Amino acid sequence: MFSKLILITGNANRPLAEEVSRHAGIPLADIDLFKFSNDESFVKINDNVRGADVFVIQPTCYPVNDNLIDLLIIIDALKRASAQRINCVIPYYAYARSDKKDQPRVPITAKLVADLITIAGAHRVITVDLHADQIQGFFNIPVDHLYAIPTFARYFKSIMPMDDIVVVSPDSGGANRARALAKRLNCTLAIGDKRRSGNEDRAELLNIIGEVNNKTVILFDDIIDTGGSLIKVANALVDKGVKKIYAACTHGVLSGSAVSDLEASPIEKLFITNTIPLSEEKKQCTKIVQLSIAEMLAIAIKKVHIEESISVLFR
């Protein structure tokens, strides 16, 4: 059993960390984290962490490389300050889509990032909706993989009737994820058939597999980045005669022209979680609704600390 629990956050998503802190009833530790004029990062832990069970809340969202380096040097600082255990809470795991060698002479960056975190001194990782489940196996330390599906399911049940809902996966790769949401909502499933070529964020939609005519659709995926694929599926669904289209994605990366493209799309609302903070511009988009996973993370942190199962979070 660990003597004391300490929460620390970097600069990646401080609002989420503060909300987790409130739910857990544990204040955030005091640290200095900034960049020198030469662009090098610096961290100093101002509180005593010797012998502590420390949880570092730091998604590796934009700016990805800065936030990743900040996470690594926080881990190193904690290790050198004699923290007993270092747990990395990474709600959004960057480079997750580089999870396999699908072209000649390309890296498996998701594995490299896992190695960096492990070698830096982390003892455990807690993350949310990895793009590919096998990334858990890239780590040689325990990984607690949490899911936003219960959060989305509770919310949808509270705002809309479930009698004409169809959950749609934009592609076959996300079918299991979408099927899990459909099961919780007790509704049917459809799948978009798309083909991606090269390294550009564009994909060709071939067909919609499943009955969606005169239905309300929830497009469900783990990440919305540029939004191109999701919007193509939405346009195809309009041609199939759907009544309304909603979208739900755990991680709202929303890069490039994603927000303006979303505004012009047939998607009525995009539901995302707060694994990634929204810029002021994105907050102004009336189509974006952000749900919080802070309570789920707080429960996971406290259960990991006292060595209890976190399976209650999957119900």
Residue ranges of the annotated binding site for Mg(2+) are 131, 171
| Residues of the binding site | 38-40, 131, 171, 196, 221, 225-229
The sign of the torsion formed by the CA atoms of 60, 63, 65, 69 equals negative
Active site residues: 194
Pick from 298, 296, 280: nearest CA to 288: 280
3-state secondary structure the chain: CCCCEEEEECCCCHHHHHHHHHHHCCCECCEEEEECCCCCEEEEECCCCCCCEEEEECCCCCCHHHHHHHHHHHHHHHHHCCCCEEEEEECCCCCCCCCCCCCCCCCCHHHHHHHHHHHHCCCEEEEECCCCHHHHHHCCCCEEEECCHHHHHHHHHHHCCCCCEEEEECCHHHHHHHHHHHHHHCCEEEEEEEEECCCCCCEEEEEEECCCCCCEEEEEEEEECCCHHHHHHHHHHHHCCCCEEEEEEEEECCCCCHHHHHHCCCCCEEEEECCCCCCHHHHCCCCEEEECCHHHHHHHHHHHHCCCCCHHHHC
CB proximity list for 207: less than 8 A, separation 6 or greater: 192, 193, 236
| Residues of the binding site for D-ribose 5-phosphate | 196, 221, 225-229
Pick from 9, 40, 10, 45: nearest CA to 26: 9
From CA 174, how far away is CA 194, in angstroms rounded? Answer: 12
- What tokens were used for 147? 């899911």
